[in-house]
Amino acid sequence: MHKKIAWVTDSTAQIPENLLLQHDIFVIPLGILFYDQVYAEGVDLNTTELYDKIVHYKSIPTTSQPTIGQFVSLYEKLKESFDHIIAVHLSSELSGTYQTSLMAAQMVDHPIEVVDTRILSYPLTMMIEKGIHLAQTGMEPSQIADILRLEHKRFDNYILVGNLEQLYKGGRLNGVQLFLGSILKIKPVLCIRDGGVQLFGRFRTQRRALRTILNQLHTAKQQHVIRRIMILQADVMEEALQIKQTLLQSYKDIEIYIGPLSGTIGVHGGRGSLVIAWMREDSDSK
């Protein structure tokens, strides 16, 4: 008999509503702090409201991880109904959420696996989907967690920054870089490597930056199976749809998903940011 597993993740995953309804997935929200007011991501504040507030207040909010009490409370509740809990969180390089979840798990008398995914945003959802599939085959929760801990090596994530000034105010860019980037209209592209955010390249136009990312996708597609491409947008749905149409010209056999970029990520890149990501699979992967 298969173990009954509860899946826990954080709000950066942006789990689609249909997936939440179909499976036992529980989301702990990260916090977004404007002055003295804390908003629970996805509960008190959606992404459009977030960017409107940034413009109105002319300040960059800070983000906060969930408290250990939130995790302990959820784990204590879930242990009454589930045989096992698997928590899947954004990279420990980018947030203390994983570490807090791990400490909470050690305080609760119940089998809990806590996974540092080394990635962030919607790719977490894909990891959970894979974990659910593995659980349906009867695989042990500890084995599932071990597999998920290595999945980040299969993902390619590229971030087109929407607002250089916001990146600067958030401490991700120095003053000289901001000045030169603004004058020269430089478009930085970031990527996720080894669990952290790194600079992939600087480009003179958005079109050139996008073309370079799509070249990376083309190379990956020649060497691996790619079943889904993710386009995550920070309040620029029209631009995301245009990218999807471009992709469909070359990749008619691949699912292309468009979704919102987590607000806790968008506070750094700003309105207009876009993430293009995909997962590389072996030809015999199911």
Q: Could you tell me the domains of the chain? A: 5-30+65-149 (3.40.50.10170), 154-279 (3.30.1180.10)
Q: 188-230 pLDDT, tens per residue?
A: 888 998 888 888 888 888 899 999 999 999 999 999 999 999 9
C-alpha–C-alpha distance, residues 47 and 271, integer Å: 9
DSSP string over 229-256: EEEEESS-HHHHHHHHHHHHHH-TTSEE
Banded model confidence at residue 185, pLDDT cuts 50, 70, 90: low
pLDDT (0 to 100) of residue 264: 73
Whether pLDDT at 153 is above 90: yes
- Closest to 102 (Cα-Cα) out of 70, 71, 140, 146: 71
- The model's pTM is 0.88
